[in-house]
Amino acid sequence: MRLNADTGRCVGAGQCVLTEPTVFDQCDDGVVVLVINRPEGEAAQRARHAVALCPSGALSVTEEVDDG
Ligand code: SF4
């Protein structure tokens, strides 16, 4: 999975950071910053949850084909 964050849509609610602080952060004005854009394991599960919780629809997930 690859996370995408549309900073133009982010309203700075911070829900993502509360849900998975190893993946999401906020800059000084509250806009989301992706710390990791390809999380794995439990962080990936929580990141998916954060995507669902985001009130502005700023977060999305792109599924990637595992070519390994
Ligand atoms: S939950 Fe959504 S609106 Fe809130 S800081 Fe994260 S990306 Fe922005």
pTM of the model: 0.92
Ligand 1 atom with minimal separation from the 57 CA: 2
Q: Which domains does the chain have, with CATH numbers?
A: 2-62 (3.30.70.20)
Looking from the CA of 57 toward its CB, the CA atoms found within 13 Å total 0
Ligand 1 atom with minimal separation from the 30 CA: 5
pLDDT 10s digit of each residue in the chain, 68 long? 999 999 999 999 999 999 999 999 999 999 999 999 999 999 999 999 999 999 999 999 999 886 65
Asked whether 54 lines ligand 1 (CB < 6 A), one says yes
Asked whether 48 lines ligand 1 (CB < 6 A), one says no
Per-residue pLDDT at 68: 59
For the chain, helix (H) and strand (E) counts, in that order, are 2, 4
